Amino acid sequence: MSRLRVGIAGCGIAGLASALVLARAGHRVSIFERFDQPQPVGSGLMIQPTGLAVLRGLGLAERVIADGARIERLHGRVGDRVVLDVGYAALRGASPAFGIGIHRASLFAALFDAVGDAGLAIRTGRAVCGSQLGAEGRTLLFDDDSESEPFDLVIDALGTRSPLAPSTGRELPYGALWASLDWPEGGEFSGSMLEQRYRRASVMAGVLPIGRAQAAFFWSLRADRLAAWQDAGIEPWKREVLDLWPACAPLLDQIVATEQLTFARYAHRTLPTPAEPRLLHLGDAWHSASPQLGQGANMALLDAWALGMGLAGALSVDEALARVVGLRHRHVRIYQALTALFTPVYQSDSRIIPWLRDRLVGPLSRLWPATWIQAAMVSGLIGNPLRALELEVL
């Protein structure tokens, strides 16, 4: 396809990765960001083998691996009972698969620097509130009543609550408190595992190594209980965490105020029509879910790579967008269904579901082929999304 004028709304993982893919293909890219200074939002995340494959294609895998922590296993307990034990080694590939625990800021910086090296300018302080299709292309509308120049293609990378996308899906009752903390040297935590502790499905704590001698600590919380948690102060909550998981003491010693924790809200939504005339919704703007399977950033990276493939060789924008959706549609549907299925297992008020998890599913999950199935789900490889994108596991 000839060189396109592309406007990208949003400077997160999906927006930056899309900009990099398109710029390297020779398209004219403009990025719009509502903040005066682009910045990531959030704490730790997991880059799975799928996301690493895209980052290798972008030439960024080595940097991300160096900045993060190599994760070999996910491990969860209820008291002394192991109810989650997922090792990447169960995939038994030609080379050992692994995940990378990393601070969102480190992943953002790798993509942001690459976008800068590609000579792309980011137009900051531009809060997108809509778009408009005209004879010369699609323009972006801003909250100050101004609008952009027309683009041949607009990429919506504004996330779950994008004003460019129709309202769909539902807000999830549970979110999570997050904090990035110093790694407790000499403590009981493994530097190569995501570790979690549960009480039923309503209480969950987790510790993820994210490189640079840091850990991401998270705690499940119902959104409607956030105000009460803030009003109660930090000490009652710290006692609750220690009652569940005493080994967290050196992490909690670093938290002295509720303001040190950021609350993340989640929604489950999937656009039935991710492509519109000269407009494509990517990442969370297309499909968002709870982080139970840790796929958010990885799915965004896969979407961005598919965008580049869809445009290559297409005769029109409409054809290109149909190809992009076709490349990703099956994998998106699989993981949206899996995430909806597993969210109540780890974040809900149910008593029956966690009872089944702890006494039946947990023990059975340590037997083959359940070990492989779990590893394939966590890694993002169910549905084999890399084959269609001509990528391979790192």
Q: Checking DSSP bridges between strand 193-199 and strand 73-78, what pairing results, if any?
A: parallel
Q: Which two tokens stand for residue 16?
A: 């930056």
Residue 184 CA to its chain's centroid (Å): 25
pLDDT attached to residue 43: 80
Give the single-character DSSP code of 88.
Answer: G
Give the pLDDT confidence of 349-377 residue by residue, as tens digits: 999 999 999 888 778 778 888 899 999 99
Q: Report the alpha-carbon distance of residue 312 to residue 319 in Å, rounded.
A: 11
* Mean pLDDT of the residues in the chain: 95
Q: Report the alpha-carbon distance of residue 315 to residue 280 in Å, rounded.
A: 17
Integer angstrom CA distances of residue 249 from 74, 184, 187: 21, 9, 9
Sheet holding 174-182, edge to edge: 81-87, 73-78, 193-199, 203-209, 214-222, 174-182, 262-264
Is 80 within 8 Å of 244 (Cβ atoms)? Answer: no
Q: Report the alpha-carbon distance of residue 169 to residue 288 in Å, rounded.
A: 9
The structural domains of the chain, ordered by start, are: 5-169+267-388 (3.50.50.60)
Q: What is the DSSP string of 222-284?
A: EGGGHHHHHHH-HHHHHHHHHHH-GGGHHHHTT--SGGGSEEE--EEEE-S--EETTEEE-GG
Using CB atoms within 10 Å of the CB of residue 205, give its burial: 0 to 12 exposed, 13 to 18 middle, 19+ buried. Answer: buried
Give the pLDDT confidence of 271-282 residue by residue, as tens digits: 999 999 999 999
pLDDT attached to residue 38: 80
Q: Which of 343, 369, 372 minimizes the C-alpha distance to 357?
A: 343
Q: Check pLDDT > 80 for residue 394.
A: no
Is 120 within 8 Å of 9 (Cβ atoms)? Answer: no
Q: Which of 216, 210, 266, 257 minimizes the C-alpha distance to 238?
A: 257
Q: Report the alpha-carbon distance of residue 167 to residue 24 in Å, rounded.
A: 33
Give the pLDDT confidence of 226-273 residue by residue, as tens digits: 999 999 999 999 999 999 999 999 999 999 999 999 999 999 999 999
Sheet holding 99-103, edge to edge: 44-47, 99-103, 69-71
pLDDT attached to residue 114: 97
Q: Which of 260, 247, 308, 254 minimizes the C-alpha distance to 280?
A: 308
pLDDT attached to residue 94: 57
Q: Check pLDDT > 70 for residue 380.
A: yes
Q: Which two tokens stand for residue 233?
A: 């102060």
Q: Whole-prediction pTM value?
A: 0.96
Q: Checking DSSP bridges between strand 174-182 and strand 193-199, what pairing results, if any?
A: unpaired
Give the pLDDT confidence of 287-339 residue by residue, as tens digits: 999 988 889 999 999 999 999 999 998 999 999 999 999 999 999 999 999 99
Q: Report the alpha-carbon distance of residue 383 to residue 385 in Å, rounded.
A: 6
Is 97 within 8 Å of 73 (Cβ atoms)? Answer: no
